[in-house]
Structure 1
Amino acid sequence: MFGIGGGELIFIIFIALMLFGTDKIPEAARTFGKVMANLKHATNEIKTEIQKSADVEEINSSFKQVTSSFTEEVDKVKESVSVTPPDFTSNTLTDATSGINEIKEDLESLTGPIKRQR
């Protein structure tokens, strides 16, 4: 027990009896017990706070890791989706216009006899 032998323990008890007297020993023992309980309680609180801090740091590092990988994936998707806008030159527009005019003429020729029957 704390590296104290039997003879040393008896000597400590004898010194305590000399200092405090037989009337005050129980009160001193209670006070010592309360001090030790408070010390143990404070130590446990410190351990709990350290553990919570470590858990929070672990959560923060995990969160940063997940968000960084998510950001990387989003950037990859942006890069793969980003396409240069089509080059609308006058040639492309005239081709589209001529195609539309051809379809318009075909519709007119199909609906012409139908419109006349009414």
Structure 2
Amino acid sequence: MIEISLGKLVLLALIALIVLGPEKLPQAARTAGALMRRLRSGWDSVRAEVERELEIEELKRTAREAAARAEAMQTEMNKTARDTREQMTSAATEVRNEVRETVDEVKKDVVPAAVPATVSVDAPTDAPKEPTHGSV
């Protein structure tokens, strides 16, 4: 704002006293004071509005940056999940193939003749034998 020293203020008061005269000077001073208050309050409200707009723009910019970072992180997480899924699928396929190969090798090594053709279910093999002598 305009810097007014005490000397300049006294000079303005003398000029106003000469131009307006002693009877109109108090009314003119009140009017000038009211205009200065309106001007100052208008300036303060404009400054406050501009500051609010700047804060809103700053918040919007921060939100856009955060959204961009979140989107980049989401993309990176999706890529990592996709890579992990592919590695797991590949590992599962390899394990499945190894198990099949091992089962096929075991089937080749087993001799079908070594397995008994029939198993008797008539007499249990683990049952205790009855005594053959005559006991009481």
TM-score with structure 1 setting the length:
0.59
Q: What is the deviation of 1:43? A: 1.2
> Following superposition of structure 1 onto structure 2, how do residues 20-35 of structure 1 map, counting pairs within 5 Å?
20-35=20-35
Distance 2:12 2:76 in 1: 74
Q: What is the deviation of 1:12? A: 3.3
**TM-aligned CA distance change 1:61 to 1:12, over 3 Å:** closer
* Greater relative CO (CA pairs within 8 A, separation 6+): 1
Gaps of 5+ in 2: 90-99, 101-136
Read off the aligned partner of 1:24 and give its amino acid letter: K
The answer to which structure has the higher helix fraction is: 1
Q: Deviations over 1:18-53 (max 9, x none)?
A: 211222111101100001001110111121012112
TM-score with structure 2 setting the length:
0.52
Equivalent in the alignment of 1:2: 4
Q: Over alpha carbons, which structure has the higher Rg?
A: 2
Share of identical aligned residues, percent? 20
> Following superposition of structure 1 onto structure 2, how do residues 45-60 of structure 1 map, counting pairs within 5 Å?
45-60=45-60
> Following superposition of structure 1 onto structure 2, how do residues 30-45 of structure 1 map, counting pairs within 5 Å?
30-45=30-45
Equivalent in the alignment of 1:72: 72
CA RMSD of aligned residues (A): 2.5
Q: What is the deviation of 1:4? A: 4.1
Gaps of 5+ in 1: 87-94, 96-118
Q: What is the deviation of 1:55? A: 0.7
